[in-house]
């Protein structure tokens, strides 16, 4: 006979018993890049819920979130290079969905169509007969564009048929109204772009953004942005990335100033933040159509760039697409002053393109546990990536190995595999390693390790010495 056995088990009956195990290593976790989180307000879409959008949706943003100005944060994030956006529409619970009542040919209200989401989006509704197929149609317009349309069988049961046709709609709910005394079954009355009414956007406060950030706690993202320059909301973002860091989520936020505020005040604000997790864009640009990008819409673009870049590269000297003019050009001295105080500054290259002058965050004065590398966006993101990949890889071993030499070696081997992968990816230097922390010997169910890492910086400053002489013989 045969059967399975567990380690240490002694069978009573003779036979061949079997078990299997993994002869390889724990699979390592790769890098997460291109993920932007966005908090915004709009006139359509789910409230206070995370919705994952990919870059293929960039031209269909209105389908999901309407036409509110805040949706621009999504578009600019994608333009900056984000491949995924974790979108959260923020707002209170006082919003109202738009609605319309349809009558039958006897003039009786019989079908009510309600929007699935609160907001003042201006929908209109037509009920008509398709002249080619003779089917009845209900068409819902967003402005002049068809948003949704439904075909249903003609006849006295049209109200029931329409409700059934709309049953799977994600944007509208159609219900039959109570039939009044004297109700006469009859077709729906024709209407042409009759407005849905009563829609109201929810109230949005600073607390709305705070609640929206709570929704993102369990998701991974590289950078978070919002659709406002309100200092209170910027403080929410700063607080959220700090809170996320303390709970094991490693990401940044990008905020920006506007030309409506004195430049020196903006520079002082960046210096006061003094946080490697916060990037502060101090000024903005104008695009080829004359549109200004400063404050939150500029921060969304830069945030997308921060989220997208691989950590074996940098966004220093990355060109801002379609930027043709700086709103507030800075002299060399002004740029130096701003960068020394933690500002992300834009400048003009020799081809008259606008690019990021130096990819730095707001950390000006590192604390005792930080080196100068934490001032760089690239090196901070590299370090966050390493920490995230090692932690996520080794988490698979929690409570799965013994706290003995073999178990701890297994943990170190898993972490070293991640380190070696990042060495091969040109993100950290060869020789980076992990070892047990001799100052804190393993005990009970706990073990301590030290990772000695040298992360690679970009070559950003090149110094050339030119030696000339008057004559070869001199």
Q: What is the pLDDT of residues 362-414, one digit of tens each?
A: 999 999 999 999 999 999 999 999 999 999 999 999 999 999 999 999 999 99
Query: pLDDT tens digits, residue range 93-146?
Result: 999 999 999 999 989 999 999 999 999 999 999 999 998 888 999 999 999 999
Looking at residue 282, its pLDDT comes to 98
> For 198-219, what is the mean pLDDT?
96
Query: pLDDT tens digits, residue range 324-356?
Result: 999 999 999 999 999 999 999 999 999 999 999
> At the topology level of CATH, where does 99-195 sit?
Immunoglobulin-like (2.60.40)
Looking at residue 182, its pLDDT comes to 77
Strand 191-195, strand 123-129: pairing: antiparallel
Residue that wins the pLDDT comparison between 114 and 11: 114
User: Quick one: which of 243, 235, 193 has its CA closest to 214?
Assistant: 243
pLDDT of residue 433 exceeding 90, the answer is: yes
**Domain extents for the chain?**
35-91+204-356, 99-195
- 332-340 and 263-273 helices cross at what angle (nearest 10)? 30
Query: pLDDT tens digits, residue range 253-292?
Result: 999 999 999 999 999 999 999 999 999 999 999 999 999 9
pLDDT of residue 161 exceeding 80, the answer is: yes
CA atoms within 13 A on the CB side of 411: 25
Residue that wins the pLDDT comparison between 23 and 193: 193
Burial class (CB in 10 A: 0-12, 13-18, 19+), 397: middle
What average pLDDT does the structure give for the chain?
93
- According to the CATH classification, is domain 35-91+204-356 in 3.30.1370.220? yes
pLDDT of residue 1 exceeding 50, the answer is: no
User: Are 39 and 209 within 8 A, CB to CB?
Assistant: yes
User: Are 111 and 176 within 8 A, CB to CB?
Assistant: yes
User: Are 345 and 334 within 8 A, CB to CB?
Assistant: no
Q: Which of 75-79, 404-408, 449-453, 463-467 has the lowest mean pLDDT?
A: 463-467
How sure is the predictor about 474, in pLDDT bands with cuts at 50, 70 and 90? low
How sure is the predictor about 12, in pLDDT bands with cuts at 50, 70 and 90? low
């Amino acid at each position: 006979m045969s059967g399975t056995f567990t380690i240490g088990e002694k069978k009573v009956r003779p036979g061949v018993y079997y078990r299997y195990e993994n002869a390889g290593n724990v699979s390592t976790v790769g890098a997460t890049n291109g993920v932007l989180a966005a908090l915004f307000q709009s006139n359509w879409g789910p409230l206070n819920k995370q919705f994952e959008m990919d870059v293929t949706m960039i031209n269909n943003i209105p389908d999901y979130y309407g036409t509110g100005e805040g949706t621009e944060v999504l578009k600019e994030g994608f333009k900056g290079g984000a491949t995924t956006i974790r979108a959260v529409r923020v707002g209170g619970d006082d919003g109202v969905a738009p609605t319309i009542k349809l009558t039958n040919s006897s003039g009786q209200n019989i079908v009510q169509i309600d929007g699935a989401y609160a907001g003042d989006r201006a929908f209109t509704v037509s009920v008509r007969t398709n002249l080619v197929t003779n089917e009845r149609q209900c068409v819902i317009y967003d402005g002049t564009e068809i948003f949704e349309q439904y075909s249903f069988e003609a006849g006295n049961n049209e109200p029931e048929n329409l409700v059934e046709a709309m049953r799977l709609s994600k944007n509208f709910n159609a219900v039959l109204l109570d039939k009044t005394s004297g109700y006469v079954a009859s077709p729906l009355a024709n209407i042409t772009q009759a407005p849905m009414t009563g829609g109201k956007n929810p109230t949005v406060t600073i607390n709305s953004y705070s609640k929206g950030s709570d929704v993102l706690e369990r998701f991974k993202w590289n950078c978070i942005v919002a659709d406002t320059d309100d200092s209170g909301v910027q403080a929410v973002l700063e607080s959220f990335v700090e809170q996320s860091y303390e709970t094991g989520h490693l990401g940044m936020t990008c905020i920006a100033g506007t030309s409506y505020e004195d430049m020196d005040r903006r520079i002082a604000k960046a210096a006061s933040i003094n946080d490697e997790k916060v990037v502060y864009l101090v000024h903005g640009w104008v695009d080829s159509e004359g549109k200004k990008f400063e404050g939150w819409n500029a921060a969304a673009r830069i945030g997308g760039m921060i989220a997208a870049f691989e950590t074996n590269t940098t966004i220093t000297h990355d060109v801002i697409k379609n930027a043709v003019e700086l709103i507030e050009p800075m002299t060399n001295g002004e740029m130096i002053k701003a960068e020394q105080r933690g500002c992300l500054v834009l400048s003009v290259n020799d081809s008259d393109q606008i690019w990021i002058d130096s990819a730095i965050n707001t950390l000006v004065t590192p604390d005792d546990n930080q080196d100068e590398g934490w001032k760089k966006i690239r090196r901070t993101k590299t370090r966050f990536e390493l920490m995230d990949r090692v932690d996520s890889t080794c988490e698979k071993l929690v409570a799965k190995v013994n706290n003995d030499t073999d178990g701890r070696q297994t943990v170190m081997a898993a972490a070293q595999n991640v380190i070696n992968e990042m060495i091969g990816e040109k993100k950290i230097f060869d020789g980076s390693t992990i070892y047990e922390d001799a100052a804190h010997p393993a005990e009970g169910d706990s073990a301590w390790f030290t990772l000695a890492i040298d992360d690679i910086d970009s070559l950003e400053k090149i110094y050339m010495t030119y030696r000339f002489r008057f004559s070869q013989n001199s």
